[in-house]
Structure 1
Amino acid sequence: MSTGETMRAAPPRRSGRPLVFGLTIIAVLALLFGVPWWTLVGADARWPALVVIAGTILFAGALVAFPALMYMGHGRRHRDWAARAGDTILGVIWVMFAWAVLGNVLRLALAVAGVADPGRSRIVAAATAAVSLLLVLWGYAEAMRVPRIKRVDVTIPRLGAGLDGVRVVLLTDTHYGPINRARWSAGVVAAVNDLDADIVCHTGDIADGTVAERREQAAPLGDVRARLARTYVTGNHEYFGEAEGWLDHMRELGWEPLHNRHIVVERGGSRLVVAGVDDATAASSGRPGHHADHAAALADADPGLPVLLLAHQPKQIGAAVEHGVDLQISGHTHGGQIWPFHFLVRLDQPVVHGLSRHGGRTQLYTSRGTGFWGPPLRVFAPSEITVLTLRSA
């Protein structure tokens, strides 16, 4: 190279990830809104032109409004009215999408049976619309009701006789949020207090928003009664807002925040370690001192005592097994919340709901959740207040 030539640095390579992500979102939204539109409006049902135009405008308007509403509602602006509208659209269109897919299976069956269009498409459209409407109305009622009580016996071989029959009440995923559910919260607390609990646990996702925004809805938690302890750990949604603020507020309400720490409860001469770890997403939140640390949570605990561990996500069970935990209690999955979303949840979590065993000692109970996130719907995934009765061998 001659001295007169200049060397130029190669331009930085641009990542194609934002483009791929954007195209993926567009494709998902096109399917989510497009399949119901085609099933109800666009197929060969030969509806009057006015019906086709009105239906197309409705779906197109919802498709355009949805991203903006979600951004305003769940982004930095945090507009509750936008969140309510966007979440409702999401829930309704998901139900319609799922049943439109099944409706098109019905279309094939009708075709095999010799039913021709436009009758075939009209039957499919009517069935899809009717089932979707019924499930949306029923799902809303299920989401807004005080959860049913679910009772589960869990045998813990290392549990001392004095703690046999101890009642642990599990709340999780209350998600106090854009819809003011202060009365619902009071109803949940009343139901918990009727259970005469020894220990009450909240395994995170307490709210979507700050303490200042959700204080009224969380206030009834201060009235929860428990003989031995009231304990709380953070969920992933705390790290979208102010995790430290919720830890402090729960302490003010009289709860024990188990921020990678434990307490020991005793009854009848027998003792139980009740430990808690931060959510699995805490480490990536950028908040100093927040990460799931099982070693710190169990530091100085008597290794001969049984351990009840609060951890928000079921997939934290691997570390619980490594540290000899007897029972982990979790939430996060909502049981899928709106069928058939549980199939997608199962791709990320080892369990969707219920009691399961992991390794030689450790058991995991995963709750469907006490509240709901986003869409105010629960379809084939009922909420629960769980009573875990611990039994010695």
Structure 2
Amino acid sequence: MVKVLSAVLALACVFSAWPAYGWGGVAVLHLVGVSLVLELINLLLKRTPFVFKKWDLIYRSGILSFLIIAVVFSYGYINMQQIKKTSYRIGTPKIQQEETLRIALMSDIHLGVTMSAKDLENWCGKIQSQEPDLVLLTGDIFDEDTKREEMERAAKALGYMKSTYGSFYVYGNHDSNQYREKPEYTSGYLRNTLEKAGVRVLEDEVFKTGKDICIIGRKDAGDRDRKSLKEIMKDAPEKSFRILMDHQPGDLKENNRQGIDLQVSGHTHAGQIWPTGQLMQLLGINEINYGYRKTGNLQTVVTSGMAGWGYPIRTGGHCEYVIIDVVLKK
């Protein structure tokens, strides 16, 4: 009977773990990881017979693995709901002494996973109260599970945000619905909806605004038609403060060579599920997992995003919107 029950549970785990990036897959991966750690602890405790007798009953029941996973997932769910404000202050010789350029950075909302359009409307109001000069949206604001009505309502909320120089958007790898056979809307419809709402969408384009400010918006790194940055930079005056919007935080050395002053990116979610972010950076999949980095004259800010992808838990990093104050530094 025990063997039959074990076989049924094993088959249930296999079934629930397909696809690997779904709820079931994440749960089973955590179960395997926790079980391996507990197995190691069990081997160590066998050397201490008195302690082992008390431990053995709990260990054999199997309940400890599920209890630990319940605690981890509960923390992950609560952590996903907490959106923080993260601030950076960076210097550049390319603005006037009396000026401060304030940038609001929003990314990786994946509308519909944990945040609704109504929630986003509230957050847009809070972020607007920071009085930004620029609002930069670095992709994956939407994804395959975003309903068209929600997308349209969210686009209006983003367009209503007031700032000195306006709101700008670049596509992430999920915005264009490339991972779904029958998407609710096309990439072109999304662009038209955003621009109708007042959000400028940049696809390998340069936009000049303010006093010598250049915004360069890239297509996603996975787009086959993506131009080289060198080709795009022909339209960006050298003396301007050049801001690069690129969903995926890569090519930092090349971006520095091309004269970018500030790069803003998302995509990584700061890992979302620990320790995936650290592993991806260690393996070189992501050049930078989260935060601020200086590469020559290039300053890069990578945000963890305002929400998460796939499931409403975050055990790595936190959710945030970012305020960047750019000041004169000679």
Measured against the shorter chain, the TM-score band is 0.7 to 0.9
Q: Supply the distance in 2 between the matched residues of 1:389 and 1:135 (Cα, whole angstroms).
A: 35
Per the TM alignment, residue 277 of structure 1 is displaced from its structure 2 partner at its CA by 0.8
* Structure 2 residue ranges without an equivalent (≥5): 179-185
CA contact (8 A) 1:231 1:255 kept: yes
CA contact (8 A) 2:104 2:127 kept: yes
Distance 1:158 1:99, change over 3 A: farther
Q: Counterpart of 2:241?
A: 306
Q: Does 1:60 align with 2:1?
A: no
CA contact (8 A) 1:262 1:297 kept: yes
Question: Which of 251, 257, 263 pairs up with 1:316?
Answer: 251
Q: Counterpart of 2:183?
A: none
Q: Supply the distance in 2 between the matched residues of 1:367 and 1:180 (Cα, whole angstroms).
A: 17
Q: Does 1:105 align with 2:40?
A: yes
Once the two structures are superposed, the pairs formed by residues 264-343 of structure 1 within 5 Å of their partners are: 264-266=208-210, 270-283=211-224, 290-343=225-278
CA contact (8 A) 1:135 1:379 kept: yes
Q: Supply the distance in 2 between the matched residues of 1:195 and 1:55 (Cα, whole angstroms).
A: 56
- Structure 2 SS opposite 1:315: coil
Per the TM alignment, residue 171 of structure 1 is displaced from its structure 2 partner at its CA by 0.6
- Partner deviation per Cα, 1:8-65 (whole Å, 9 max, x = no partner): xxxxxxxxxxxxxxxxxxxxxxxxxxxxxxxxxxxxxxxxx67x86675345224214
Q: Supply the distance in 2 between the matched residues of 1:163 and 1:292 (Cα, whole angstroms).
A: 33
Letter in 2 for 1:149: K
Letter in 2 for 1:363: Q
Q: Supply the distance in 2 between the matched residues of 1:182 and 1:249 (Cα, whole angstroms).
A: 14
Q: Supply the distance in 1 between the matched residues of 2:43 and 2:123 (Cα, whole angstroms).
A: 46
Q: Supply the distance in 2 between the matched residues of 1:56 and 1:118 (Cα, whole angstroms).
A: 28
Greater CA drift, 185-194 or 369-378: 185-194
Question: Which of 89, 93, 98 pairs up with 2:28?
Answer: 93
Letter in 2 for 1:232: Y
Q: Supply the distance in 2 between the matched residues of 1:188 and 1:58 (Cα, whole angstroms).
A: 43
Q: Counterpart of 2:181?
A: none
Per the TM alignment, residue 189 of structure 1 is displaced from its structure 2 partner at its CA by 1.5
Which of structures 1 and 2 has the bigger CA Rg?
1
Letter in 2 for 1:246: L
Letter in 2 for 1:97: V
CA contact (8 A) 1:98 1:340 kept: no
Question: Which of 132, 135, 141 pairs up with 2:69?
Answer: 132
CA contact (8 A) 2:135 2:166 kept: yes
Distance 1:117 1:54, change over 3 A: farther
- Structure 1 SS opposite 2:154: helix
Q: Does 1:174 align with 2:109?
A: yes
Q: Counterpart of 1:45?
A: none
Q: Counterpart of 1:81?
A: none
Q: Counterpart of 1:263?
A: 207
TM-score normalised to structure 1 length: 0.72
CA contact (8 A) 1:151 1:388 kept: yes
- Structure with bigger helix share is 1
Question: Which of 168, 181, 186 pairs up with 2:121?
Answer: 186
Distance 1:93 1:186, change over 3 A: farther
- Partner deviation per Cα, 1:264-283 (whole Å, 9 max, x = no partner): 232xxx42212111111011
Q: Does 1:351 align with 2:292?
A: no
Q: Supply the distance in 1 between the matched residues of 2:302 and 2:79 (Cα, whole angstroms).
A: 19
Bigger relative CO (Cα 8 Å, ≥ 6 apart): 2
Greater CA drift, 366-375 or 182-191: 182-191
CA contact (8 A) 2:109 2:115 kept: no
Distance 1:316 1:240, change over 3 A: farther
Q: Counterpart of 1:254?
A: 198
Q: Supply the distance in 2 between the matched residues of 1:159 and 1:120 (Cα, whole angstroms).
A: 67
Q: Does 1:369 align with 2:311?
A: no
Q: Does 1:380 align with 2:316?
A: yes
- Structure 1 SS opposite 2:305: coil
Supply the RMSD in Å over aligned alpha carbons. Answer: 2.7
- Equivalenced residue count is 316
Q: Counterpart of 1:74?
A: none
Letter in 2 for 1:258: L
Distance 1:109 1:309, change over 3 A: same
CA contact (8 A) 1:95 1:338 kept: no
Q: Sequence identity, in percent?
A: 22
Q: Supply the distance in 2 between the matched residues of 1:213 and 1:110 (Cα, whole angstroms).
A: 57
Per the TM alignment, residue 316 of structure 1 is displaced from its structure 2 partner at its CA by 3.4
Letter in 2 for 1:112: R
